[in-house]
Amino acid sequence: MNDYLWDRSGAPDPDVVALEERLRPFRCPPATAGADGDRPEAPPRTTGVPRAPWLHAAAAAALLSIGLGLALLRPTPEVLPYRVERLDGRAPSTTALCGGDRVTCDDGTRARIHVGDIGSVDLAPRTRVRVEPGRHDEEAGYRLFLERGTMEASIFSAPRVFQVGTPSGIAVDLGCIYSTTVEDDGRATLRVLTGAVSFEAEGRKVHVPSGAECRATPSRGPGTPCWSDRAPEWRDAVARIDEAPAPADEDLALVLAGDEERDTLTWFHLLDHPALEVRVRALDRIVAVVDGLGDAVDLKALRGGDPAAREALREELDWRW
């Protein structure tokens, strides 16, 4: 019978020896020497008591379970919520960020914030971003606040996991690439390159799809989205309509002209305008341009302001954006 596990007198088992070597750093220190310099003698082994065969197996199993437990308790690499990397041509430098930290880029500095394992945010010169306090992960979400300057986010995650606050509203990522610029007075411009963003403020939410943009102000929140490839005078007219309680007729006529279905993106969001004339003319234009809309949406309920009819209209137009 092998007594190696009992008193180390038998032939050692190779697996047990290997396990002992891995556990050696964790063993207790040897007993201190006696007054005469010799180690204390081991207590005499009790005689006349047979050792059950299962005892050897139990001891080996105990060693094995301890070894597995230590392996499972070894720390695994973690993905930090935020890491900032310099992009100014100097030697690479990466620093972890916590809630409340700010990243500031001066005139000649760019930086990249790595957002967990869902993407990154590139900061242009003269940009300042704050990490919002709170728990940051796939469940609670990642939150930054753009105080000024320009950032471009490339995020690939479930909708609403990543959000960027601005003085004029919150950009809620729906899985996309987009840029946001905040001026010194707090005005913000959001441009979506791929995917979509929900630009939100209290009492106001707009949908900004790929290829579109949206301007926002601290007092009003997100304005009416429009396509980035439209002429500057067309986009400026949309901004003036947003800012005026009673828009100029020439601005409204310019924005409502044309017969492209994709412009229903702008006309649909004009249904939130405080001026009744704007709402009526925008809806009339949508009905005129989209064939068969009356078969999919209750137009009478829609004209009466029914929320369900409004949502049905959005769903009907969404694929055209």
For residue 88, the model assigns a pLDDT of 72
Query: Is 145:138 a contact under the CB 8 Å cutoff?
Result: no
State the pLDDT at residue 87: 84
Q: Kindly give the pairing relationship between strand 212-217 and strand 94-96.
A: unpaired
- Predicted local distance difference test score (pLDDT) of residue 41: 42
Q: Inter-axis angle of helices 14-23 and 53-73, to 10 degrees? A: 40
- For the chain (321 residues), the mean pLDDT of every run of 10, in chain order, is 58 67 51 37 42 45 37 44 83 79 92 95 96 84 97 95 96 95 97 96 94 96 96 95 93 92 96 94 95 88 90 92 91
Q: Is 215 left (phi over 0), alpha (psi -120 to 50) or beta?
A: beta
Assigned CATH class of 79-223? mainly beta
Q: Are 216 and 204 in contact (CB under 8 A)?
A: no
For the stretch 72-128, pLDDT in tens is: 333 334 567 899 998 876 655 678 999 999 999 999 899 999 999 999 999 999 999
DSSP 185-246: TS-EEEEEEESEEEEEETTEEEEEETTEEEEEETTTEE---EETTS-HHHHHHHHHHHH-SS
What are the domain boundaries of the chain? 79-223, 229-321
Q: Which helix (H) or strand (E) holds 82?
A: strand 82-86
